[in-house]
Structure 1
Amino acid sequence: MAWQWESTVIAMVAFGILYFLLNKYAFGPLFSIMEQRRQLVLEQMNTAESSRKQAEAQMAEQKAALDQARKEAYSIIEQARTTSTKTADDIVQTAKAEATRLKDDALKDIESEKNKAIAALRTEVGGISVKIASKIIEKQIDEQSQEQLVNQYLKEVGSK
């Protein structure tokens, strides 16, 4: 096989024409589309980065709001606990005061009833003493009979 230089020149000219046509009609639009795609990808990456930063900022805000809500909840719980303790203490104090008042009233009633009973007993003992004295005077008995009579009336007073 012999090398033919005409074929090589024709092939080179054909390659040059093909390169010129491809460069003018194919590579230009292809590179343009690739550049547009590159710009689109860059915009999407920038948008994604911006969205990520916004999401992080919102997450930080939400964490801060959640922490604030927790603090408020704890303060409300603590305030309710304090209020309930105070209310319980007030109820206990009121109950103690009422119990003391009722006890004092009961002691006064007991003292009053005791005084009435003593007064009634004195009246009754006075009446019995008068009866004993009148019976002793009526009978004018000896000492032994008088002692029996006193014991009998004391037993009557004791049974009442």
Structure 2
Amino acid sequence: MQLLESGFIIQAEIGGLQGGNMLFAIISFLALLWLLRKYAWGPLMNKMEERENHIANEIDIAEKNRTDAEKASREANDQLKATRQEAQQIIEDAKKAGVEQEKAIIEAANQAAARLKKSAEEDITREKEKAIEALQAQVATLSVQIATKVIEKEINAKDQEQLISDYIKEVGEER
């Protein structure tokens, strides 16, 4: 019996525990666990689940924001590339327009120079004809004076005019 009794009482250096106390402690512990589970563990688990859901939502939102940011970055890069191409095209068009304008200016200058050259040539021709006519008149006058001195009044006025006309025709044909 003592063995049985010793089974209910655990001997320790400081003191001993009795089986009834142990049973009360175990029942109290189980009641405490049940109360904790009912009033603390459930709400705590609900809070943890809410926190888990909140974190999962935040991760989803962050992922969505990241993909949106990547998409916006790609679109911005595409727009930048398109803008650069457009700017390059504008520069090329401006260069072409500059070359065409340069050609037009050179062509206009060449045409103006040709007109000036033609006008100068026409002026030279007119002045040359005037000079020839003036020379013919002077030659006619000098010829008349020379002939008059040579003949010394032997030719009448009608013969003199005929002689001058013939001489002017000869000088005109030589030209």
Under TM normalisation by the shorter chain, which class is it? Answer: 0.7 to 0.9
1:56-86 deviations in whole A, cap 9, x for unaligned?
1121112112211211221122112111211
- What's 1:87 paired with? 101
Q: Does 1:9 align with 2:23?
A: yes
Tell me which protein shows more helix as a share of its residues.
1
Q: Does 1:24 align with 2:34?
A: no
In structure 2, distance between residues paired with 1:54 and 1:4: 68
Gaps of 5+ in 2: 1-13, 154-175
- Deviation at 1:114? 0.9
- Deviation at 1:8? 3.5
- What's 1:72 paired with? 86
AA aligned to 1:16 is L
What is the total number of aligned residue pairs between the two structures? 139
- What's 1:35 paired with? 49
- Deviation at 1:135? 2.3
Answer 1 or 2: higher relative contact order, Cα 8 Å, separation at least 6.
1
RMSD: 1.7
In structure 2, distance between residues paired with 1:68 and 1:98: 44
- Deviation at 1:10? 3.0
- What's 1:106 paired with? 120
Tell which structure's C-alpha radius of gyration is larger: 2
Gaps of 5+ in 1: 140-160
In structure 2, distance between residues paired with 1:100 and 1:76: 35
- What's 2:70 paired with? 56
- What's 2:172 paired with? none
Query: Percent sequence identity over matched residues?
Result: 38
Query: The residue matched to 2:15 in structure 1 has which SS?
Result: coil
- TM-score with structure 1 setting the length: 0.80
Query: The residue matched to 2:16 in structure 1 has which SS?
Result: coil
- Deviation at 1:88? 1.6
